[in-house]
């Protein structure tokens, strides 16, 4: 007999059921960030126009996550691959998904230049303060004093600088028609709204859209559930302020 009363977790329509449950670690922020993205896409009704590119790193695990045409690119190169698609096929909705290492370290030149050129793409970046894929090394977003495999005595900001402020940087170099925000997995409703605005900005042909999402990595933080939330909600926002940094004015008419 089939039991039909089992509660199925509600998932966005554009998620690919065959690849669920997903393979992110328990407590990983990626699942929540991609839920917000899926919800935003469902609400805008643009699933059949989306091309999704994912970076190398844990974000790679999203490569078969959605019912969209999706590309595994190279580490740091998702922004130019997706830019190439958009430039050649402007009618598509192009999304580049990456982590903090992919966006702010190895792919930073692409982020800066795509933003400066006001590319009509949406770059979505999950910030979990270290490289999860290779075993937890220091990332541009690692918090001061935080221990990682390549900062075994804690991040020394004198030697390695302060955590990268991505949205602040993107906001500074984009024209007024760009959308720039930092959301968090701890406020999914707000994060979803940000993604909707980012996507709408592309649909309207306005300009570059960028959302950083604060995301958890209990595996590499070695934190239990309570400590994980404390890190996301208390520690990270000390350096990474949540909110919209740039919202394009509504187009006339």
Partner 1 sequence: MVEAYIGEYASGKSENAVNRALDLLERGRTVTLVDLDIVEPFYTLRPIKKELEAKGLSVIAWETGDTVGLGEAGNLLRGDMLWALRREGDIVLDIGYGVEGSKTLNLLHGAHQDPELRIIAVINISRPMTSSVQDVVDYVRDLGPVHAILNNTHLGEETDEQIIQEGAKVVAEAAKILGLPVEATAADEKFRPTLGETDAMGHPVRYLHRLMPKTFW
Partner 2 sequence: MADKPIQGEKRMFVTGNEAVAYAALAANVDIMYGYPITPQNEIMHYFTRLAPKFDKPFLQTEDEISAGFTTVGGVMSGKRSFTATAGPGNTLMQESMSMAEMMRIPTVVVIMQRGGPSTATVIYSQQEVTMTCYGANGEGIRVVYSTCNHQELYDYTIKSFNTAWKYRIPTFVLGDGYQAKMRESLTMYDPEARGIKMVDTYPLVGLPGSPGVDRDPAHLRNTYNTEEELYEVVSNLVKDYEAVAPEIVESESFDCDDAEVVVLAHGVVSRAAVEAVRELRKAGIKAGHFRPITLRPFPDKELKAVANQAKKLLVVESAQGQFAKLVHHSLYGDSTPMEYIFKPGLGITSDEIINKVKAML
Interface positions with partner 2 (CB under 8 A): 56, 72, 74-76, 101, 104-108, 131, 134-135, 137-138, 140, 149-153, 159-160
Nearest of 113, 46, 49 to residue 79 by alpha carbon: 113
Binding partner at 13 among partner 1, partner 2, none, C-beta below 5 to 8 Å by kind:
none
Supply 232's token pair: 């996301």
48 to 23, 92, 101, 108: CA distances (angstroms): 24, 9, 29, 29
User: Cα–Cα distance between 82 and 252 in angstroms, integer?
Assistant: 29
Q: Identify which range of 9-17, 76-84, 126-134, 236-244 contacts partner 1 by CB under 8 A.
A: 126-134
* In the complex, minimum distance from the CB of residue 99 to partner 1, in angstroms, rounded to a whole number: 9
Binding partner at 28 among partner 1, partner 2, none, C-beta below 5 to 8 Å by kind:
partner 1
User: Cα–Cα distance between 236 and 241 in angstroms, integer?
Assistant: 8
Q: Identify which range of 5-13, 17-25, 197-205, 237-245 contacts partner 1 by CB under 8 A.
A: 17-25
Q: What residues numbered 33-92 form the site for partner 1, per CB under 8 A?
A: 56-58, 60-61, 63
3-state SS of the chain: helix, strand, coil percent to 5?
Answer: 40, 20, 40
Q: Give me the residue label for tokens 């959301």.
A: 183
Which residue, 65 or 179, is less far from partner 2 as judged by CB? 65
* In the complex, minimum distance from the CB of residue 226 to partner 1, in angstroms, rounded to a whole number: 10
User: Cα–Cα distance between 161 and 163 in angstroms, integer?
Assistant: 7
Which residues would be at the binding site for partner 1 (CB under 8 A)? Answer: 23-26, 28, 30, 56-58, 60-61, 63, 132-136, 147-149, 152, 218-220, 222-224, 227
């Amino acid at each position: 007999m089939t039991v039909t009363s089992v509660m199925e977790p509600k998932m966005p329509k554009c998620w690919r059921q065959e690849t669920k449950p997903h393979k992110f670690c328990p407590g990983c922020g990626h699942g929540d960030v991609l839920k917000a993205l899926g919800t935003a896409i469902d609400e805008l009704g643009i699933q059949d126009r989306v091309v999704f590119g994912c970076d190398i790193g844990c974000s790679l695990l999203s490569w078969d996550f959605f019912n969209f045409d999706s590309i595994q690119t190279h580490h740091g190169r998702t922004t130019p691959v997706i830019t190439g698609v958009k430039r050649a096929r402007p009618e598509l909705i192009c999304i580049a998904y990456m982590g903090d290492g992919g966006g702010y370290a190895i792919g930073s030149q692409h982020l800066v230049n795509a933003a400066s050129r006001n590319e009509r793409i949406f770059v979505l970046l999950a910030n979990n303060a270290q490289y999860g894929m290779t075993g937890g090394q220091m990332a541009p977003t690692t918090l001061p004093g935080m221990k990682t495999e390549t900062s075994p005595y804690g991040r020394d900001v004198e030697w390695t600088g302060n955590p990268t402020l991505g949205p602040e940087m993107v906001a500074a170099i984009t024209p007024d028609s760009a959308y720039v925000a930092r959301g968090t997995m701890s406020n999914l409703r707000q994060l979803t709204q940000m993604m909707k605005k980012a996507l709408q900005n592309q649909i309207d042909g306005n300009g570059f859209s960028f959302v950083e999402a604060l995301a958890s990595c209990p595996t590499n933080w070695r934190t239990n559930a309570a400590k994980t939330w404390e890190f996301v909600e208390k520690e990270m926002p000390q350096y990474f302020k949540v909110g919209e940094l740039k919202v394009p004015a509504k187009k006339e008419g």
